[in-house]
Structure 1
Amino acid sequence: MSIRTSTVVGLTATVLGVGALGFTIAPSVGELAKGRHVEESNYATGAQAKGARATMPRWLPDGATAVHYRISTTNGDRSITAQLPDGLRPTGCSGGAAPAPAVPVKLSTARLPAGAGSKVAINCGSYRVVVDGRDLYAWQTGADWVAVNLAGLQRR
């Protein structure tokens, strides 16, 4: 075998090896990148959650427990799950028993019940909320967050 032939064979083997390694690593890197754009936090109570995060809505009862907060850092979508101490809807929320116009749940989380976006009965600020017994499920799109904050700035 000549030096030129062995060089070509060596380069081909190297390129194929690196290519195979790339296919093996690429899905893992993609999964890491996806997770990098979502922040999640857990708090024992609503009071603790509001003390830790300025972005936690004020309507969340202080006595709520098992609070889970999730936010997308790329588009601002948010979701909250919690246990309500009394099963009553939070103060300051509006809406009745009839479903309000649904807004899709964009931030996927296993903690939101299936079909939550079509079962909305309560609006708490710009959050859409489902209360099921003592379970509270809430979500807000990034677009809703921007609209509320722009309206607040324009009133100043």
Structure 2
Amino acid sequence: MKGIVSKVALGVAGTGMAVAVVAVAIGPRVSDWYDGRHQEQASYESGTQAKAERRSMPTWLPDNASGVKYLMSTTGDDRLLRATLPEGRLPVGCSAGLPGRSAHPVPMALKAGWFPQGVAAKATGTCGHYNVTLTGNQLYAWQDGAAVQAALRAEHVTKR
């Protein structure tokens, strides 16, 4: 009887180890899958089309912007935006200069192949709650959901 108990214990331990190995091996894939399910990505030919088709598109995006790419979190306010601006200057209503506290110096929650890594360190201005950088006529804009919520709470407190 003692031999059978030992074999059963070894079998259970071996099964537990196998489950742990499988969990470690597929864990990152499941996480990527889960994160990806809470994101929406779209491309638009123009700023006009982007604003007409997506309510969350920032109003400061010029109508004549082209090659618009957009990635948003559906569970928060994280956003990435890329657009070509024919004038090669910040849109009306945007401010040049280093962003304030809402700058996102750490890796962003969202990632897209069309949005360069490290661009947050090159922020040159703000457009609404977005931090932006302009390289030639290519605009990169990003919004950190936590910073947006903090700013909205601060605005609400100030209005009281």
TM-score, with normalisation over the residues of structure 2?
0.72
CA contact under 8 A between 2:99 and 2:126: conserved in structure 1? no
CA contact under 8 A between 1:78 and 1:107: conserved in structure 2? no
Gaps of 5+ in 2: none
Residue in 2 aligned with 1:71? Answer: 72
In the alignment, the residues of structure 2 paired with residue 33 and residue 43 of structure 1 have an alpha-carbon distance, to the nearest angstrom, of 25
- Of the three residues 144, 147, 155, the one matched with 1:141 is 144
In the alignment, the residues of structure 2 paired with residue 132 and residue 115 of structure 1 have an alpha-carbon distance, to the nearest angstrom, of 13
Residue in 2 aligned with 1:107? Answer: 109
Residue in 2 aligned with 1:130? Answer: 133
CA contact under 8 A between 1:72 and 1:107: conserved in structure 2? no
Alpha-carbon distance, 1:11 to partner? 5.5
Written as runs of structure 1 = structure 2, the 5 A alignment for 1:3-152 is: 15=16, 17-95=18-96, 99-101=97-99, 103-104=103-104, 106-109=108-111, 110-146=113-149, 147-148=151-152, 151=155
Alpha-carbon distance, 1:80 to partner? 0.5
Alpha-carbon distance, 1:101 to partner? 3.9
In the alignment, the residues of structure 2 paired with residue 17 and residue 85 of structure 1 have an alpha-carbon distance, to the nearest angstrom, of 57
In the alignment, the residues of structure 2 paired with residue 21 and residue 129 of structure 1 have an alpha-carbon distance, to the nearest angstrom, of 41
In the alignment, the residues of structure 1 paired with residue 104 and residue 89 of structure 2 have an alpha-carbon distance, to the nearest angstrom, of 24
Alpha-carbon distance, 1:79 to partner? 1.3
TM-score, with normalisation over the residues of structure 1?
0.73
User: Percent identity between the aligned chains?
Assistant: 37
Q: For 2:124, give the aligned amino acid.
A: A
RMSD: 3.1
Q: For 2:78, give the aligned amino acid.
A: D
Moved over 6 A (4+): 2-10
In the alignment, the residues of structure 1 paired with residue 153 and residue 12 of structure 2 have an alpha-carbon distance, to the nearest angstrom, of 57
Deviations 1:94-131 (A, max 9, x none): 22xxx414611533434344543233222211211111
The number of residue pairs the alignment matches comes to 152
Alpha-carbon distance, 1:29 to partner? 1.6
> Which stretch of the first structure deviates more once superposed, 76-85 or 4-13?
4-13
Taking a change above 3 Å as real, the CA distance of residues 123 and 19 of structure 1, as seen in their structure-2 partners, is closer
